[in-house]
Amino acid sequence: MKYQIIGEPLPVVTCQVNPGETLITERGSMSWMSPNMKMETSTNGGIGKALGRMFSGDSIFQNRYTAMGGEGMIAFASSFPGSIRAFEISPGNNMIVQKSAFLASEAGVELSVHFQKKLGAGLFGGEGFIMQKLSGHGTAFVEIDGYAMEYVLQPGQSMIIDTGYLAAMTEGVHMEIQTVPGVKNMLFGGEGIFNTVVTGPGKIILQTMPVSNVAQTLRPFFPSAK
Protein backbone atom coordinates (compact mmCIF):
# COMPACT_ATOMS: atom_id res chain seq x y z
CA MET A 1 0.00 0.00 0.00
CA LYS A 2 1.04 3.56 -0.76
CA TYR A 3 -0.66 6.54 0.84
CA GLN A 4 -0.73 10.33 0.83
CA ILE A 5 -2.11 12.67 3.51
CA ILE A 6 -3.21 16.04 2.12
CA GLY A 7 -5.51 18.94 2.84
CA GLU A 8 -4.89 20.15 6.41
CA PRO A 9 -6.79 21.54 8.28
CA LEU A 10 -9.46 19.34 6.66
CA PRO A 11 -7.25 16.38 5.78
CA VAL A 12 -7.83 13.21 3.82
CA VAL A 13 -5.63 10.15 3.37
CA THR A 14 -5.74 8.53 -0.06
CA CYS A 15 -4.49 4.94 -0.30
CA GLN A 16 -3.28 3.06 -3.38
CA VAL A 17 -4.10 -0.55 -2.53
CA ASN A 18 -2.34 -3.56 -4.07
CA PRO A 19 -4.45 -6.32 -5.69
CA GLY A 20 -5.94 -8.52 -2.97
CA GLU A 21 -4.85 -6.16 -0.19
CA THR A 22 -7.40 -5.26 2.51
CA LEU A 23 -7.90 -2.14 4.62
CA ILE A 24 -10.16 -1.96 7.67
CA THR A 25 -12.14 1.09 8.77
CA GLU A 26 -14.77 2.21 11.19
CA ARG A 27 -18.30 2.28 9.80
CA GLY A 28 -18.80 5.43 7.70
CA SER A 29 -15.11 6.38 7.42
CA MET A 30 -14.78 5.73 3.67
CA SER A 31 -15.09 8.93 1.63
CA TRP A 32 -14.53 7.74 -1.95
CA MET A 33 -13.00 4.76 -3.72
CA SER A 34 -12.43 3.04 -7.05
CA PRO A 35 -15.15 0.63 -8.28
CA ASN A 36 -13.01 -2.48 -7.72
CA MET A 37 -12.83 -2.01 -3.93
CA LYS A 38 -15.07 -4.72 -2.46
CA MET A 39 -16.67 -3.90 0.92
CA GLU A 40 -17.47 -6.47 3.61
CA THR A 41 -18.90 -5.60 7.04
CA SER A 42 -17.96 -7.83 9.97
CA THR A 43 -17.20 -7.87 13.70
CA ASN A 44 -13.55 -8.44 12.67
CA GLY A 45 -12.45 -10.78 15.43
CA GLY A 46 -15.67 -11.92 17.06
CA ILE A 47 -18.16 -10.43 19.48
CA GLY A 48 -15.63 -10.07 22.32
CA LYS A 49 -13.32 -7.78 20.36
CA ALA A 50 -16.35 -5.99 18.89
CA LEU A 51 -17.65 -5.12 22.35
CA GLY A 52 -14.19 -3.95 23.35
CA ARG A 53 -14.14 -1.55 20.41
CA MET A 54 -17.58 -0.27 21.40
CA PHE A 55 -16.39 0.53 24.94
CA SER A 56 -13.41 2.41 23.50
CA GLY A 57 -15.70 4.69 21.51
CA ASP A 58 -15.84 2.86 18.20
CA SER A 59 -18.43 0.81 16.35
CA ILE A 60 -19.12 -2.89 16.97
CA PHE A 61 -18.78 -3.48 13.23
CA GLN A 62 -15.89 -2.65 10.95
CA ASN A 63 -15.74 -2.46 7.19
CA ARG A 64 -13.12 -4.36 5.21
CA TYR A 65 -12.21 -3.01 1.76
CA THR A 66 -10.29 -5.31 -0.61
CA ALA A 67 -8.86 -4.44 -4.04
CA MET A 68 -10.25 -6.94 -6.55
CA GLY A 69 -8.75 -7.67 -9.97
CA GLY A 70 -6.08 -4.99 -9.83
CA GLU A 71 -4.82 -1.99 -7.91
CA GLY A 72 -7.50 -0.02 -6.06
CA MET A 73 -7.86 3.42 -4.53
CA ILE A 74 -9.71 4.43 -1.38
CA ALA A 75 -9.81 7.67 0.63
CA PHE A 76 -10.64 8.38 4.27
CA ALA A 77 -11.40 11.97 5.33
CA SER A 78 -11.11 13.35 8.85
CA SER A 79 -14.39 14.00 10.67
CA PHE A 80 -13.10 17.18 12.37
CA PRO A 81 -10.66 19.96 11.45
CA GLY A 82 -7.19 18.81 12.38
CA SER A 83 -4.59 16.27 11.35
CA ILE A 84 -4.26 12.68 10.22
CA ARG A 85 -1.18 10.82 11.42
CA ALA A 86 0.15 7.49 10.15
CA PHE A 87 1.62 5.10 12.73
CA GLU A 88 3.71 2.05 11.84
CA ILE A 89 2.47 -0.59 14.24
CA SER A 90 4.56 -3.68 14.99
CA PRO A 91 5.14 -6.07 17.92
CA GLY A 92 6.61 -4.00 20.74
CA ASN A 93 5.60 -0.76 18.99
CA ASN A 94 1.98 -0.35 20.02
CA MET A 95 0.15 2.98 20.29
CA ILE A 96 -2.46 4.17 22.79
CA VAL A 97 -4.84 6.77 21.33
CA GLN A 98 -7.87 8.75 22.44
CA LYS A 99 -11.36 7.36 21.98
CA SER A 100 -12.73 7.50 18.42
CA ALA A 101 -9.28 8.41 17.03
CA PHE A 102 -8.95 5.35 14.80
CA LEU A 103 -9.66 6.14 11.14
CA ALA A 104 -8.36 3.18 9.09
CA SER A 105 -5.51 0.69 8.89
CA GLU A 106 -4.04 -2.25 7.09
CA ALA A 107 -5.69 -5.56 7.93
CA GLY A 108 -2.83 -6.66 10.20
CA VAL A 109 -3.53 -3.93 12.76
CA GLU A 110 -5.74 -4.87 15.71
CA LEU A 111 -7.91 -2.30 17.49
CA SER A 112 -8.73 -3.11 21.11
CA VAL A 113 -9.77 -1.45 24.35
CA HIS A 114 -7.11 -0.10 26.70
CA PHE A 115 -7.95 0.59 30.36
CA GLN A 116 -5.95 3.05 32.39
CA LYS A 117 -4.32 1.22 35.29
CA LYS A 118 -5.20 3.91 37.82
CA LEU A 119 -8.87 4.69 38.34
CA GLY A 120 -8.12 8.37 38.95
CA ALA A 121 -6.40 8.69 35.58
CA GLY A 122 -9.50 7.35 33.91
CA LEU A 123 -12.14 9.31 35.77
CA PHE A 124 -10.46 12.73 35.80
CA GLY A 125 -7.79 12.73 33.13
CA GLY A 126 -10.01 14.00 30.35
CA GLU A 127 -8.72 11.35 27.95
CA GLY A 128 -11.01 8.85 29.65
CA PHE A 129 -10.70 5.64 31.60
CA ILE A 130 -11.02 3.75 28.32
CA MET A 131 -8.67 4.47 25.43
CA GLN A 132 -7.82 2.60 22.23
CA LYS A 133 -4.85 0.31 21.72
CA LEU A 134 -3.39 -0.28 18.26
CA SER A 135 -1.33 -3.47 18.06
CA GLY A 136 -0.37 -6.12 15.52
CA HIS A 137 1.47 -5.19 12.34
CA GLY A 138 0.86 -2.57 9.66
CA THR A 139 0.10 1.09 9.02
CA ALA A 140 -2.71 2.76 11.01
CA PHE A 141 -4.24 6.19 10.41
CA VAL A 142 -5.40 8.24 13.39
CA GLU A 143 -7.36 11.50 13.63
CA ILE A 144 -5.93 14.37 15.70
CA ASP A 145 -8.11 17.32 16.75
CA GLY A 146 -6.31 20.41 15.48
CA TYR A 147 -2.54 20.56 14.96
CA ALA A 148 -0.41 17.68 16.26
CA MET A 149 2.62 18.43 18.47
CA GLU A 150 5.01 15.53 19.07
CA TYR A 151 7.39 15.18 22.02
CA VAL A 152 9.83 12.39 22.87
CA LEU A 153 10.09 11.98 26.64
CA GLN A 154 13.25 10.55 28.15
CA PRO A 155 13.08 8.09 31.07
CA GLY A 156 11.66 9.97 34.06
CA GLN A 157 10.89 13.10 32.03
CA SER A 158 7.33 14.38 32.54
CA MET A 159 4.87 16.71 30.88
CA ILE A 160 1.79 18.31 32.49
CA ILE A 161 -1.15 18.41 30.06
CA ASP A 162 -4.50 20.14 30.36
CA THR A 163 -7.62 18.01 30.06
CA GLY A 164 -8.29 16.69 26.57
CA TYR A 165 -5.01 17.65 24.91
CA LEU A 166 -3.37 14.21 25.01
CA ALA A 167 -4.14 12.54 21.66
CA ALA A 168 -1.76 9.57 21.55
CA MET A 169 1.23 8.00 23.25
CA THR A 170 3.46 4.98 22.93
CA GLU A 171 2.56 2.11 25.21
CA GLY A 172 5.53 2.64 27.54
CA VAL A 173 4.46 6.14 28.63
CA HIS A 174 3.04 6.29 32.17
CA MET A 175 -0.07 8.40 32.77
CA GLU A 176 -1.47 9.70 36.06
CA ILE A 177 -3.56 12.57 37.45
CA GLN A 178 -2.36 15.59 39.43
CA THR A 179 -4.61 18.11 41.17
CA VAL A 180 -4.03 21.79 40.43
CA PRO A 181 -2.28 23.23 43.52
CA GLY A 182 -4.14 25.83 45.58
CA VAL A 183 -7.87 26.29 46.13
CA LYS A 184 -7.94 29.66 44.33
CA ASN A 185 -6.18 28.15 41.34
CA MET A 186 -8.77 25.37 41.21
CA LEU A 187 -11.80 27.63 41.56
CA PHE A 188 -10.77 30.73 39.64
CA GLY A 189 -7.85 29.75 37.43
CA GLY A 190 -10.06 28.53 34.61
CA GLU A 191 -7.91 25.44 34.07
CA GLY A 192 -10.06 22.97 35.99
CA ILE A 193 -9.19 20.86 39.02
CA PHE A 194 -7.06 18.12 37.44
CA ASN A 195 -4.19 17.90 35.00
CA THR A 196 -2.85 14.86 33.17
CA VAL A 197 0.78 14.00 33.87
CA VAL A 198 2.64 11.73 31.46
CA THR A 199 6.12 10.37 32.15
CA GLY A 200 8.58 8.80 29.74
CA PRO A 201 10.18 6.98 28.18
CA GLY A 202 8.21 7.28 24.98
CA LYS A 203 6.53 9.56 22.49
CA ILE A 204 3.42 11.64 23.11
CA ILE A 205 1.27 13.51 20.60
CA LEU A 206 -0.70 16.52 21.80
CA GLN A 207 -3.59 18.14 19.95
CA THR A 208 -4.32 21.87 19.85
CA MET A 209 -8.11 21.74 19.34
CA PRO A 210 -9.83 19.03 21.44
CA VAL A 211 -13.35 18.58 20.09
CA SER A 212 -14.70 18.63 23.66
CA ASN A 213 -13.23 22.12 24.20
CA VAL A 214 -14.72 23.32 20.93
CA ALA A 215 -18.14 22.05 22.01
CA GLN A 216 -17.90 23.91 25.33
CA THR A 217 -16.87 27.12 23.58
CA LEU A 218 -19.80 26.95 21.13
CA ARG A 219 -22.46 25.85 23.63
CA PRO A 220 -23.44 29.40 24.73
CA PHE A 221 -24.17 30.35 21.10
CA PHE A 222 -26.77 27.63 20.58
CA PRO A 223 -30.35 28.05 21.85
CA SER A 224 -31.22 25.67 24.63
CA ALA A 225 -33.47 22.78 23.71
CA LYS A 226 -37.06 23.16 24.83
Inform me whether the pLDDT recorded for 118 exceeds 70. Answer: no
- N-term to C-term CA, the chain: 50
Q: Given this model, what pLDDT does residue 44 score?
A: 57
Q: Given this model, what pLDDT does residue 162 score?
A: 87
Q: Given this model, what pLDDT does residue 125 score?
A: 47
The torsion of the CA quartet 170, 137, 23, 47, rounded to 10 degrees, works out to -80
* Higher per-residue confidence, 176 vs 117: 176
- Asked if the structure places residue 168 within a domain, the reply is yes
Band of pLDDT at residue 61, cut at 50, 70 and 90: confident
* Higher per-residue confidence, 212 vs 124: 212
- Asked if the structure places residue 32 within a domain, the reply is yes
Strand, coil or helix: what is 49?
Answer: helix
Instruction: List the domain range (segments joined by +) for residue 88.
Output: 2-221
- Cβ contact 141:83 at 8 Å: no
* Higher per-residue confidence, 10 vs 193: 10
pLDDT in tens, 170-208: 999 998 877 766 544 444 444 556 788 899 999 999 999
Q: Encode burial over 43-67: b for 16+ CB neighbours within 10 A, e otherwise.
A: ebeeeebbebbeebbbbeebbebbb
Q: Given this model, what pLDDT does residue 141 score?
A: 97
- Asked if the structure places residue 122 within a domain, the reply is yes
Inform me whether the pLDDT recorded for 217 exceeds 90. Answer: no
Inform me whether the pLDDT recorded for 75 exceeds 60. Answer: yes
What is this structure's pTM? Answer: 0.82
Q: What's the CATH code of the domain at 80?
A: 3.60.160.10
Q: Given this model, what pLDDT does residue 186 score?
A: 45
pLDDT in tens, 40-55: 998 655 555 545 545 4
Count of domains for the chain? 1
- Asked if the structure places residue 40 within a domain, the reply is yes
Average pLDDT of the chain is 83
- Asked if the structure places residue 226 within a domain, the reply is no
